[in-house]
Structure 1
Amino acid sequence: MADPDTANDETAQTTQRSGLVRRVFEEVGLASLYSAPTDTKLLVLQRYVRLFAYGASTLVLVAYLSELGNSERRIGSFMTLTLVGDVCISFVLTSFADRWGRKAILLAGALLMVASGLIFAVSGDFYVLLAAAIFGVISPSGNEIGPFQAIEQSTLAHLTHSEARSDIYAWYALAGNAGTASGMLAGGWAVQRARSAGWGAIPAYRLIFYTYAGIGFVKFILACTLSGKIETEAETQEAVETNPETAPLLSGQVQSHTPPPKPSRWKRLLPQISKESRRTAVQLCALFALDSFASGLASLSWVTFFFKSKFHIGEGKLGTLFSVAAIVSAASVLVASSISKRLGNVKTMVFTHLPSAIALALIPVPNVPALAMTFLLLRACTQSMDVAPRSAFLAEILLPKERTAVMGLINVVKTSSQSVGPLVTGTLAGQKLFWVAFVMAGSLKATYDIGFLLVFAGKRGDRTRRGSSE
């Protein structure tokens, strides 16, 4: 016969273990993701799929254009024009996404990915490929560009309760980092296997773009499964009936049943942002422009080139180094979600991003490779920890009906600012002042962090919840 005390002890231990597991799941945000609507999970999955394609295509894009006979200067102009074109496309699509339908824009984006992948796989004409890169939103850097992130983040904001947003955005960011890393890894091995099997360089690279088109079709299928709850009409109805964000930070006026005056034809072409929101939108754009310009000064391609040229590190070791940095950066996103629950979104953004800015400025100082790599990895530890809290903060501070437009505007400003940075870094590198770019980037990012804290530390989205409960 079993001892009752032993049975009770085993039951207590089992309960304690299950409680610990539940606590861990809550801290890393898995509990929030598990209980999230199906649409939320689909959007996170779409993010992974899209960034997988971006990572794979970015790995071979420059080499592919070079094999087609384009000079480095022409390739550089290709990158610049791609970013400029992306700014225009993003501005238009995010401005009209809520009117045309968010699902329709996501479906169109998936089809454009399919078309651009096929064009890159069969054509070698510079201008045809440029058009495909712009309209298909092929990322020159492997990072998220185009209108789709703004639409998805805006949709996630109203699908998710405010307390769980930092968790959902953390997993959304993690999915993107994981997609880029796995896409680059899979794309690199696929090209190497193809070359080892006797394929030429161009056919091997075109294999990646056929895959890109196939991934675009997978994304199209995933977008088809989204429900009508992602549309702005559902969001507006929810805000009127139950959502505490019916009176958000940027809104202080009483609801009126009088229809607003119809905007002029030209004003319809601009994002519809209320007068109360414009000041905050300008502040956000100015700060994010500063941070994005700094990111452009120290883009991944330039950082890689710096380590290769200064320390003569081979491609294999470079790949390993930056893969480890990407994994560390991705893992840190989940830690940020836990911190933001205690410090709040703004303080988490600043106090995690500031150390990475300092580490970035110190990368060119050592003449010993190990120390420079240490600063690189230290930067990676907190580099992405501000992503989820920033998205959650934007969701709280912006009016529900204006989220897509303002987030799209912010993305346009960020992309425009970032596109200038590589040109400045290239000029400095040509003058043997490569190190100045890192110091400038770190200093500007630190200025951005301090500025964000000063401007937004007192503007918390939970003022809405307090106001609604009074």
Structure 2
Amino acid sequence: MGLIRRLLLPDGAEPAALPLLCGRALRALVDGYVAVLLPAYLIALGFGTWEVGVLATTTLAGSALATLALGAWGHRFHHADLLRATALLMAATGFAFALGSAYWPLLLVAFVGTLNPSSGDVSVFLPLEHARLADAAQGPARTTLFARYSLLGALFAALGALAAGAPDWLAQHTTLSRVSALRAMFFGYGVVGLGVWWLYRRLPAPHAGAPRQPAALSTSRPVVLRLAALFSIDSFAGGLVINALLALWLFRRFDLSLTAAGSFFFWAGLASAASQLVAPLLARRIGLLNTMVFTHIPASLCLIAAAFAPQVEVALALMLLRSLLSQMDVPARGAFVMAVVTPEERTAAASFTAVPRSLAAAASPALGGALFAAGWLAAPLVACGVLKISYDLALWFAFRRVAAHHGTATSAD
């Protein structure tokens, strides 16, 4: 445990952050393969492209409402209790998907559960963990801690994506049918939920010398609302090409196999993980805001180009290049939000910036699925790229003066 602590925690970070980092890694592992397997599982159960998009939308909508409730009432409860309850909900979600076959019950579980069909973390875990991470470090150590949190998420999501080929291997080399092998993967998701719950039992309970009590938004409300509005544009765009739909695009456009798709998402995840190592270094040199904007725009251009790539090798190369750049803003964004609000409002700020993102992202997968079903395979990728570039430019123009005024909000502090 001492070696793991030295490897994961930056200098100046409190040991209480360690369970959060380990929990993020475990969740990312199963999220990585669920995002790839979800469309394959639903199609194997007899559902169509439209149903895949609707279920993805329902999942994101449920996460958004849960995050909204957290922002409104979560400050009444201790973070550790909420995290443990969410971990149990994760376990129940996995077991329910492993046992279910009918569409409407699965849709209900998707709405109330923690399933994540996207490449990023859109669950209620995120604001809870971000608030605790922000309290666990200060100054440059905070940005580094957020970067390691994102790095673990990207790295283990990549490993999870590689595991997406396991059902086909099991179906070929054992007596399990393909559907049964897919069910086993969702059962594993539930088991990991129990493991995360055990980890979060190690989080410290409240005590007399505990840090500040969380509070509802007050003085930071104007900044948070502006950020939330802009983040929603980015998330709506990202929802058009969440991993589940991007996998579907690869299946439809290039007839890629499940194993090959899993391998691609593995390498894409590794590329995203590598970018997390660069993000805090870049933020120290050019600031958090510039890191968020000027790495995002080239990534969006790569996605637009991939939509028109004539060969699968070209498309995959462009999307790998996108993966090297597109997630570099994640630790910078988390550190930026935590730096521009008061410490007492961090949980509420993380929740209220996450809610519009989740709601916006929830609206777009069904639209992306409908465009795919209509045969417009390039449209979701192009729309995503154009909207993300518009978001980046709007964010930079809206907050460049804030960045100049609050030097600690735009540097590594």
TM over 0.5, yes or no?
yes
**Per-residue Cα deviation, 1:49-68 (whole angstroms, up to 9, x for no partner):** 11222223334333333444
Matched, 1:346 2:289: yes
Which structure 1 segments of 5+ residues have no match? 1-28, 240-270
Q: Match of 1:113, as an amino acid?
A: M
* Secondary structure of the structure 1 residue equivalent to 2:121: coil
Q: Match of 2:29, as an amino acid?
A: F
Displacement of 1:120: 2.7
Q: Match of 2:64, as an amino acid?
A: V
TM superposition score normalised by structure 1: 0.78
Matches within 5 A, 1:66-145: 66-141=43-118, 143-145=120-122
When residues 212 and 297 of structure 1 are mapped into structure 2, their CA distance, relative to the original with a 3 A threshold, is closer
When residues 424 and 204 of structure 1 are mapped into structure 2, their CA distance, relative to the original with a 3 A threshold, is closer
Q: Distance in 2 between matches of 1:94 and 1:389?
A: 21
Q: Are the counterparts in 2 of residues 235 and 400 from structure 1 also a CA contact under 8 Å? A: no
Residue in 1 aligned with 2:346? 403
Q: Match of 1:388, as an amino acid?
A: P
When residues 330 and 465 of structure 1 are mapped into structure 2, their CA distance, relative to the original with a 3 A threshold, is closer
* Secondary structure of the structure 2 residue equivalent to 1:234: coil
Residue in 2 aligned with 1:175? 152
**Per-residue Cα deviation, 1:265-298 (whole angstroms, up to 9, x for no partner):** xxxxxx9321x32221221111111111111223
Q: Are the counterparts in 1 of residues 269 and 323 from structure 2 also a CA contact under 8 Å? A: yes
Larger Rg: 1
Matched, 1:319 2:319: no
Displacement of 1:315: 4.2
When residues 89 and 461 of structure 1 are mapped into structure 2, their CA distance, relative to the original with a 3 A threshold, is farther
* Secondary structure of the structure 1 residue equivalent to 2:378: helix
Displacement of 1:234: 2.9
Displacement of 1:456: 1.4
Displacement of 1:445: 1.1
Residue in 1 aligned with 2:217? 273
**Per-residue Cα deviation, 1:335-375 (whole angstroms, up to 9, x for no partner):** 11111111111111111112112222222234244433332
Matched, 1:365 2:308: yes
When residues 431 and 220 of structure 1 are mapped into structure 2, their CA distance, relative to the original with a 3 A threshold, is closer
Q: Are the counterparts in 2 of residues 54 and 143 from structure 1 also a CA contact under 8 Å? A: no
Q: Are the counterparts in 2 of residues 95 and 404 from structure 1 also a CA contact under 8 Å? A: no
Q: Distance in 2 between matches of 1:402 and 1:35?
A: 22
Matched, 1:234 2:181: no
Matched, 1:416 2:359: yes
Residue in 1 aligned with 2:272? 329
Residue in 1 aligned with 2:388? 445
Residue in 2 aligned with 1:284? 227
* Secondary structure of the structure 2 residue equivalent to 1:347: helix
Q: Distance in 2 between matches of 1:426 and 1:115?
A: 27
Q: How many residues align?
A: 404
Residue in 1 aligned with 2:25? 48
Matches within 5 A, 1:18-33: 33=10
Q: Distance in 1 between matches of 2:208 and 2:285?
A: 31
What is the aligned counterpart of 1:61 among 1, 13, 38?
Answer: 38
When residues 461 and 183 of structure 1 are mapped into structure 2, their CA distance, relative to the original with a 3 A threshold, is farther
Displacement of 1:386: 0.7
Displacement of 1:314: 4.3
When residues 66 and 185 of structure 1 are mapped into structure 2, their CA distance, relative to the original with a 3 A threshold, is same
What is the aligned counterpart of 2:337 among 373, 376, 394?
Answer: 394
**Per-residue Cα deviation, 1:85-113 (whole angstroms, up to 9, x for no partner):** 22222211343222111000001011112
Q: Match of 2:199, as an amino acid?
A: L
When residues 54 and 404 of structure 1 are mapped into structure 2, their CA distance, relative to the original with a 3 A threshold, is same
Q: Identify the range of structure 1 (47-56 vs 326-335) with the bigger mean alpha-carbon deviation.
A: 47-56
Residue in 1 aligned with 2:242? 299
When residues 315 and 460 of structure 1 are mapped into structure 2, their CA distance, relative to the original with a 3 A threshold, is same
**Per-residue Cα deviation, 1:275-333 (whole angstroms, up to 9, x for no partner):** x3222122111111111111122333333444444444444444333322221121111
Q: Match of 1:356, as an amino acid?
A: A
Q: Distance in 1 between matches of 2:121 and 2:57?
A: 16
Which structure 2 segments of 5+ residues have no match? 1-5
Q: Match of 1:322, as an amino acid?
A: F
**Per-residue Cα deviation, 1:401-427 (whole angstroms, up to 9, x for no partner):** 211112112211111111222333344
**Per-residue Cα deviation, 1:205-252 (whole angstroms, up to 9, x for no partner):** 2222332222111111110101136x9983327x9xxxxxxxxxxxxx
Residue in 2 aligned with 1:15? none
Q: Are the counterparts in 2 of residues 292 and 414 from structure 1 also a CA contact under 8 Å? A: yes
Residue in 2 aligned with 1:378? 321
When residues 232 and 297 of structure 1 are mapped into structure 2, their CA distance, relative to the original with a 3 A threshold, is farther
Ranked by relative contact order (alpha carbons within 8 Å, sequence separation 6 or more), the top structure is 2
When residues 425 and 116 of structure 1 are mapped into structure 2, their CA distance, relative to the original with a 3 A threshold, is closer
Q: Match of 2:216, as an amino acid?
A: Q
When residues 232 and 84 of structure 1 are mapped into structure 2, their CA distance, relative to the original with a 3 A threshold, is farther
Displacement of 1:463: 3.8
Identity %: 30
Q: Distance in 1 between matches of 2:203 and 2:236?
A: 35
Q: Match of 2:97, as an amino acid?
A: F
Q: Distance in 1 between matches of 2:179 and 2:93?
A: 17
Q: Match of 1:78, as an amino acid?
A: L
When residues 190 and 125 of structure 1 are mapped into structure 2, their CA distance, relative to the original with a 3 A threshold, is closer
* Secondary structure of the structure 2 residue equivalent to 1:288: helix
* Secondary structure of the structure 1 residue equivalent to 2:220: helix
Q: Match of 1:234, as an amino acid?
A: A
Q: Match of 1:172, as an amino acid?
A: Y
Q: Distance in 1 between matches of 2:227 and 2:291?
A: 17
TM superposition score normalised by structure 2: 0.88
When residues 427 and 315 of structure 1 are mapped into structure 2, their CA distance, relative to the original with a 3 A threshold, is same
